[in-house]
Amino acid sequence: MQYVTLEEILSQPTIWQAVLEIASQQRGTFEQYLKQAAHKEAVFIGCGTSYYLALSAAGIYTMVTGQKARATSASEVLFFPETIFPTSDQGYMPVLISRSGTTTEVVRAAEEIQSRLENHTYGVSCRPASDLIRVCHYPLLVSEADEKSVVMTRSFTSMLLLIQLLAAIRSGNTAFEEELSRLPDLGTETIDRCHDLVKDVTSSRQYTKFVYLGQGPYYGLACEAMLKIKEMSLSYSEAYHSLEFRHGPMSMVDEEMLITFLIAEQARTEEVTLLKKMKELGARTLVIIEEGDAGIRRSADYVVELKSGLSDTARMILYMPIVQLMGYYNAVAKGLDPDNPKNLTQVVTL
């Protein structure tokens, strides 16, 4: 049986192409929106997958534009607004992210920011007729990426791509924009090349623990990968900034643990040293990297080489179909329905 979640994962390159077209058609509008936020600090806000997207988006936004950026979960804005917006001026660019646009905390956070803090808000969503888009001043929409599935897959990568494009427009970085334009073709090629390997990873043995590691903007990707395997396959999973794993969590390593390394070139040397150490301790390891070498192949049970030719900041969404497919096939291997995860609904309303 083919589940809708699999269709949505595999459709990503086509949707990424649609996102590139949206950015090209609406370039003038986006430039106007971004002008309002010149010299403001970007604060990316979401819940669940959209929070992890915010973590990656904040990192990329600063790396590409040089502007300050942070990420937080929407509930923090509701309960501890003074820690997120410590000054009562209009020095912030709050970017609220929600596939559905109806998650209660996100909509309430947007209302709070506008009424009490009097800051203009940006809403990133897949649903134009949603509360979030109604409330926010500046809509940033990728309707093509909306999903039937409970779990978010293509909406994560497509909304992240839209934010990468905004950063490119904001900074006038045409080289970065050109890199992003290559993602749909590279995505198709990566999925075709890695699909069988992912099936092999999840069918070869039953792991009891999954760990995902990444640094900088890749930490958000690691968190999202952790959530996918948890939501779809009800498996115990954790995510860390790669080197944090040495500070305690590695006591849990054994041969029933699969550690996935989402390697960024900027952190590569130390992440590869960690990989070797974890292999020595007995973990099973999967490495996703731009390009491997003999040392990496010796320490990894599985290696996915992206060979994209793209920079760390541009390449990021190519990692995601691989970890999403891991969640999907691990669910199928356990006899679970990835379209209908236990206890979950598409939207959380309070």
Closer Cβ to ligand F1P, 231 or 290, answer by number: 231
Closer Cβ to ligand F1P, 152 or 259, answer by number: 152
Please report, in angstroms and rounded to a whole number, the separation of the first and last CA atoms in the chain.
Answer: 34
Closer Cβ to ligand F1P, 179 or 231, answer by number: 231
Sheet containing 209-214, strands listed edge to edge, beginning at the edge strand earlier in sequence: 236-241, 209-214, 257-262, 284-289, 302-305
By C-alpha distance, which of 259, 250, 233, 239 is closest to 342?
A: 233
Closer Cβ to ligand F1P, 126 or 169, answer by number: 126
Closer Cβ to ligand F1P, 100 or 299, answer by number: 100
Closer Cβ to ligand F1P, 57 or 274, answer by number: 57
By C-alpha distance, which of 92, 69, 246, 87 is closest to 163?
A: 69
In the complex, minimum distance from the CB of residue 237 to ligand F1P, in angstroms, rounded to a whole number: 14
In the complex, minimum distance from the CB of residue 53 to ligand F1P, in angstroms, rounded to a whole number: 8
User: Nearest residue to ligand F1P, using CB?
Assistant: 48
In the complex, minimum distance from the CB of residue 4 to ligand F1P, in angstroms, rounded to a whole number: 14
Please say whether the dihedral angle defined by the alpha carbons of residues 257, 289, 12 and 126, taken in this order, is positive or negative: positive
Q: Find where tokens 């109806």 sit.
A: 102
In the complex, minimum distance from the CB of residue 231 to ligand F1P, in angstroms, rounded to a whole number: 6
The per-residue DSSP string of 128-176 comes to: TTSHHHHH-SEEEE-GGG--SSSS-SHHHHHHHHHHHHHHHHHHT-HHH
| Torsion angle of the four alpha carbons 36, 42, 45, 48, in this order, in degrees rounded to the nearest 10 | 130
- The whole-angstrom separation of Cα 174 and Cα 168 is 7
Q: What is the DSSP letter of 316?
A: G
In the complex, minimum distance from the CB of residue 98 to ligand F1P, in angstroms, rounded to a whole number: 3
Q: State the helix-helix crossing angle for 183-204 and 320-333, rounded to 10 degrees.
A: 30
- The CA distances from residue 334 to 9, 34, 121, 202, 228, in Å, are 19, 46, 42, 10, 15
Closer Cβ to ligand F1P, 125 or 299, answer by number: 125
Binding site for ligand F1P (CB under 6 A): 47-50, 98-100, 103, 106, 150-152, 231, 344, 346-348
Closer Cβ to ligand F1P, 45 or 287, answer by number: 45
Closer Cβ to ligand F1P, 292 or 327, answer by number: 327
In the complex, minimum distance from the CB of residue 197 to ligand F1P, in angstroms, rounded to a whole number: 25
Per-residue three-class SS string for 226-273: HHHHHHHHCCEEEEEEHHHHHCCHHHHCCCCEEEEEECCHHHHHHHHH
In the complex, minimum distance from the CB of residue 47 to ligand F1P, in angstroms, rounded to a whole number: 5
In the complex, minimum distance from the CB of residue 196 to ligand F1P, in angstroms, rounded to a whole number: 27
- The whole-angstrom separation of Cα 189 and Cα 306 is 9
In the complex, minimum distance from the CB of residue 296 to ligand F1P, in angstroms, rounded to a whole number: 32
